[in-house]
Amino acid sequence: MSARIEAQGVSKRFGSVVALDEFSLDVAPGEIFGLIGPNGAGKTTFIRILTGYWLATEGDVRVDGVSVTRERFRVQARLGYACEQPKLYADHTVDQFLRFMGEVRGLGGTRLRQAVGLSVERMGLESVRKRRIGVLSKGFRQRVALAQALLHDPALLVVDEPTVGLDPAQQIELRRIIAGFRGTHTVLLCTHQLHEAESICDRVALLDRGKLAALATADEIRQGGSLEALFLARVGRAPEVAVSK
Amino acid sequence: MIHRVLALARKELRQLFASPIAYVVGTAYVALTGIYFFQHLVSYNQLLFVYQSEGLTGGGFDQGTVPSQINVLNEVFVPAADDFGLFLLVVLPLVTMRVFAEERANGTDELLLTSGLRPWEIALAKHGVTYLFVLGLLAASAIYPAVVVARAGLGFEHLFALYVGQLCYGCAIASIGLACSSFTSSQIVAAVLGYSIPFVLLDFAWLTNTVSEEVAGRLKEIALLSHYGSFPRGVIELAEVTYFAGIAFLGWLASLTSLELGRAR
């Protein structure tokens, strides 16, 4: 079960600041699609519009043909979202939090128990299931964020900066988990880590100053050298500048 | 729909009682109301003693009689209602300031608003749980006065109506506080607004000398205290209940509007 994303001329303005400028995109079902770009390029803005958290100033995003502007709740029912710097309830245990999010997603009874169990197993959270989220390491909190996004088995998984602040082992593990969704779920991965996008994404869109600067498949990136080379060519500055946050 | 609201309400309750503020506020309110109710009872008993005392013939009182204005209503329930109302005004913004502002400050509002929850469901659950807290607070504080009144065998209808009034008044104040909390990510700003607005709405008597009689009349109609006075007299009027319910509804509507406006920022 996977979903198609179609964005048509999406713009977002905050007063005189243009965060996203007529951005268009088409993500195929089952694809792992990367959104990269320097800070302030408009990646998170696009994700917030896609998830229905913000309204686009112009344009629209459709998920399987459903407009997020007009029917955001139908779109939200089809997507799971793990936002940047996981925003979770620190005073809940992992179990309480996942049960709460499952109930909010309309699950109950046996289905809820199964969904929580499956998410816990998928994300390797068994050992911390009864622990408070506030005392967990950043790596585990990221996993909890992903676990809640997967509870209702969404067709589309939106993940914003999942590996920021994680140690290398945790980064590798999380990338392995995300790559595992290829073909079964559509994944929109927003990241600063160029090697991460290069290693797990089928296609990558490079955003700069709210505009689409480049769109390339994994093969095209390999033929052109690396994603870093593409980044330098299109954005004109070193990606390290973008990585430092 | 109800399933989601209940799930969110349980989460709100868990968070409310995970912080010390609910316990501090609850203890302070129950202690203050108990002490002040006791004080009013003591004063009333002293007055009765003075008036009924045999040895006061030279004091201008008729021996053994108590003037009609010295009664349990005027000496206990009316002043208790004023005190209890003021205490609610002091403690409730401390509870409401957190409810929406904390979600905004921690970014968890993004989690809720992208999970398929409708903004009206979020506003309903948060307002509902806060009203439930007000009910619990009042129930705890009613134990002592109820025992006293039951033992004395008088004034039960006054006490019941007083607490119905307190519930209406408390929910209205809480609703204003929640609306304030929904428009900011700062709990301090939410608390300041949660105190300021009810204080302004409390009574416009200070304005009556500077405005026309007609305006003063209109202001009196919207003042919180004007609608609170009948309850301790043992009267529950539909108009007064409707007034407080209207304020609570407006507060909920303001919270809902704030959540919707956040999308269009």
Task: Compute the average pLDDT of residues B227-243.
Answer: 87
Neighbours of B198 (CB within 10 A): 23
The larger pLDDT score, comparing residue B63 to residue A1, is at A1
CA atoms of A149 and A87, how far apart (whole Å):
12
Contact A55 B10 (CB under 8 A): no
pLDDT digits (tens, 9 = 90+) for A207-223: 988 998 888 887 777 77
Point out the residue among A77, A88, A100 whose CB comes nearest to the CB of B116.
A77
The larger pLDDT score, comparing residue B46 to residue B51, is at B46
Point out the residue among A51, A54, A87 whose CB comes nearest to the CB of B265.
A54
Asked if B150 reaches chain A (Cβ–Cβ under 8 Å), the answer is no
pLDDT digits (tens, 9 = 90+) for A61-87: 999 999 999 999 999 999 999 987 888
Contact B110 A52 (CB under 8 A): no
Which residues of A are less than 8 Å from B4 in CB distance? 103-104, 106
Asked if B108 reaches chain A (Cβ–Cβ under 8 Å), the answer is yes
Which residues of B are less than 8 Å from A85 in CB distance? 107
Nearest-Cα distance to chain A for B97, in Å, is: 18
Closest residue of A to B15, CA-based?
A91
Per CB distance under 8 Å, which residues of A are interface residues toward B?
14, 48, 51-55, 73, 76-77, 79, 81, 83, 85, 87-89, 91-92, 96, 100-101, 103-106, 108, 148
Answer whether residue B44 shows pLDDT above 70. yes
Whose structure tokens read 């967990």? Answer: A136
CA atoms of A164 and A139, how far apart (whole Å):
9
Contact B118 A73 (CB under 8 A): yes
Asked if B18 reaches chain A (Cβ–Cβ under 8 Å), the answer is yes
Closest residue of B to A68, CA-based?
B114
Nearest-Cα distance to chain A for B115, in Å, is: 6
A211-217 sheet: strands from edge to edge: A79-82, A156-160, A186-190, A32-36, A203-208, A211-217
pLDDT value at position A74?
Answer: 95
Point out the residue among B110, B263, B264 whose CB comes nearest to the CB of A87.
B110
Torsion of CA B172, B173, B177, B179, to 10 degrees: 20
Point out the residue among B107, B117, B263 whose CB comes nearest to the CB of A104.
B117
Which residues of B are less than 8 Å from A44 in CB distance? none
**CA atoms within 13 A of residue B96's CA, in its CB half-sphere:** 38
Q: Which helix (H) or strand (E) holds A112?
A: helix A109-123
Nearest-Cα distance to chain B for A18, in Å, is: 13
Asked if B116 reaches chain A (Cβ–Cβ under 8 Å), the answer is yes
* CA-atom Rg of chain B in angstroms: 22
Point out the residue among A52, A55, A103 whose CB comes nearest to the CB of B114.
A52
pLDDT value at position A240?
Answer: 44
Contact B14 A52 (CB under 8 A): no
Nearest-Cα distance to chain B for A51, in Å, is: 6
Q: Which of A44, A71, A89, A190 has the most B C-beta neighbours within 10 Å, making it the best mutation to test the interface with B?
A: A89
DSSP A24: E
Asked if B265 reaches chain A (Cβ–Cβ under 8 Å), the answer is yes
Contact B263 A96 (CB under 8 A): no
Question: What mean pLDDT value characterizes chain B?
Answer: 89
Task: Compute the average pLDDT of residues B67-95.
Answer: 87
Closest residue of A to B1, CA-based?
A106
Asked if B114 reaches chain A (Cβ–Cβ under 8 Å), the answer is yes
Nearest-Cα distance to chain A for B250, in Å, is: 24
pLDDT value at position B12?
Answer: 95
- What is the 3-class SS of chain B, one letter each residue? CHHHHHHHHHHHHHHHHHCHHHHHHHHHHHHHHHHHHHHHHHHHHHHHHHHHCHHHHHHCCCCCCCCCCCCHHHHHHHHHHHHHHHHHHHHHHHHHHHHCHHHHHHCHHHHHHCCCCCHHHHHHHHHHHHHHHHHHHHHHHHHHHHHHHHHHCCCHHHHHHHHHHHHHHHHHHHHHHHHHHHCCCCHHHHHHHHHHHHHHHHCCHHHCCCCCHHHHHHHHHHCCHHHCCCHHHCCCCHHHHHHHHHHHHHHHHHHHHHHHHHHCC
Neighbours of B169 (CB within 10 A): 26
Q: pLDDT-based confidence at B194, cuts 50/70/90? A: very high
| Alpha-carbon separation of residue A57 from A39, A72, A121, B109 (angstroms) | 21, 15, 40, 21
Q: Are B248 and B177 in contact (CB under 8 A)?
A: no
What are the pLDDT tens digits along chain A (245 aa)?
788 999 999 999 998 899 999 999 999 999 999 998 888 889 999 999 999 999 999 999 999 999 999 999 999 999 999 987 888 999 999 999 999 999 999 998 999 999 999 999 988 899 999 999 999 988 899 899 999 999 999 999 999 988 887 778 878 888 888 898 888 899 999 988 888 888 899 999 989 889 988 888 877 777 767 777 777 766 666 544 333 33
Which residues of A are less than 8 Å from B116 in CB distance? 73, 76-77, 104-106
